Amino acid sequence: MNELGRLEDLPADYVAELASHNLVPLWPNLRGVMPPNKPRPQTRATHWPYATIRPLLMKAGDLTPIEKAERRVLVLANPGHTLEKMQASAAMYLGMQLLLPGEWAPSHRHTPNAVRMVVEGTGAWSTVEGEKCPMLRGDLILTPTGLWHEHGHDGDEPVIWLDVLDLPLVYYMETSYHVESGRQEVTEGHGERAYARGGLVPTPVFERSNKAYPMLRYPWADARAALESLAADQPSLEAVQLTYSNPETGGHAENILGFYALMLRPGQALKLPVRSPAMVFHIIEGGAQVQVEDQRFTLLEADTCCAPGYTAVTLTNSSDEAPAFIFIADETPLHQKLGVFEKRS
């Protein structure tokens, strides 16, 4: 392959004239935007220990009342994208959010899709489009694009959860904004009750629901039981993993990011296929070693880490006696919709 010309090879007055007309020569920059053979992700393998985050988040609770913060969050920023951009990968934003007893985070809606993975505490709830969702450890709660949501706390201990949004993508497209509102009126109906059994969905005898997201809360108790049942039913299954899905369509729970629950058997090491999407790993129960190429992270309960796309990842249960349960978020739905999803051997 011929070596492309460099920008410094061009006369300075020519480059300046191009710039004055808002023009840029492609050939000196071509390999930067389309490198040979595979991308060069800016996303770096990064580990955020919960033991480091929690005291700083609690200090934020002392320093900033909820009335001034609206959402009291510490962003898990990937240094490969620079901390100022506040993103974990090209399309994923992560944040640890704190809600103290008696607090209320006002209702709003926004264009980015979001989910909440509850990390610790009891007594908090999220109301999403009128559906009041209790927040228990390991629960996944959706707040999809455009839906009103607020958070409140009736308990007596701090509640912390992990936010996952497709904010970097929506911001890049210049479509990110939010709208504020007052308290929502709670309505009847809970998606996790209506869709409580796999393979069975409500029959629209008179009319079908017009909800794009019929299930907003995915209780951890149900997901954990499903993983254990799958592992028992298929003892030779290499990857005991379930996808959080829309029970009416069978597709991903949200449109841009994918969410999964993974169980590692005691002592198990699982080598994942090399794929194009970046991935986020969050420990719900137990602990795991995460090997990303030549980097190795030890994840304890509530720890989070990310791995860039096109990299080899191996997950190893730290215990030889008990299973480990991991929440995973990735960019698979986005890559599939764009036609760039790729799996390499």
> What is the tens place of the pLDDT at every residue in 328-342?
999 999 999 999 999
| Size of the chain, expressed as the number of residues it contains | 345
The beta-strand segments (E) located in 199-320 are 217-218, 240-243, 258-264, 269-272, 274-275, 279-285, 288-292, 295-299, 304-307, 313-317
Q: Give, in order, the Cα–Cα distances in Å from 115 to each of 126, 235, 253.
A: 11, 31, 10
Q: Give, in order, the Cα–Cα distances in Å from 13 to each of 5, 6, 25, 114, 333.
A: 17, 15, 13, 48, 46
Residue with tokens 């990310």, as numbered in its chain: 306
Q: Tell me the per-residue pLDDT of 123-166, one tens digit each, with 9 for 90 and over.
A: 999 999 999 999 999 999 999 999 999 999 999 999 999 999 99
pLDDT of 103: 95
Position 193 pLDDT exceeds 70: yes
Percent of the chain with pLDDT over 70: 99
pLDDT band at 324, cuts 50/70/90?
Answer: very high
**Listed residue (283, 289, 321, 288) closest to 301, CA to CA:** 283
Q: What is the mean pLDDT of residues 190-215?
A: 85
Position 196 pLDDT exceeds 80: yes
- Count of alpha carbons within 13 Å of 226, Cβ hemisphere only? 17
Residue 320 burial (C-beta neighbours within 10 Å; 0-12, 13-18, 19+)? exposed
Return mean pLDDT, the chain. Answer: 95
pLDDT band at 206, cuts 50/70/90?
Answer: confident
pLDDT of 197: 85
pLDDT of 332: 98
Question: What domains can you pick out in the chain, each with its CATH number?
Answer: 46-344 (2.60.120.10)
Virtual torsion, Cα 319, 325, 331, 334, nearest 10 deg = 150
- Count of alpha carbons within 13 Å of 322, Cβ hemisphere only? 6
Q: Give, in order, the Cα–Cα distances in Å from 83 to each of 8, 79, 186, 217.
A: 30, 6, 38, 31
Is-contact 31 6, C-beta < 8 A? Answer: no
Is-contact 317 82, C-beta < 8 A? Answer: no
pLDDT of 273: 95
Strands 324-330 and 258-264: antiparallel
Q: Tell me the per-residue pLDDT of 25-59, one tens digit each, with 9 for 90 and over.
A: 999 988 889 999 999 999 999 999 999 999 999 99
**Six-digit token string for 147:** 């839906």
pLDDT of 2: 59
Residue with the larger pLDDT of the pair 85 and 202:
85
Q: Tell me the per-residue pLDDT of 58-109, one tens digit each, with 9 for 90 and over.
A: 999 999 998 888 899 999 999 999 999 999 999 999 999 999 999 999 999 9
In 142-169, which positions are buried (b, 16+ CB within 10 angstroms) versus exposed (e)? bbbbebbbbbbbebeebbbbbbbbbbbb
Position 210 pLDDT exceeds 60: yes
pLDDT of 205: 79
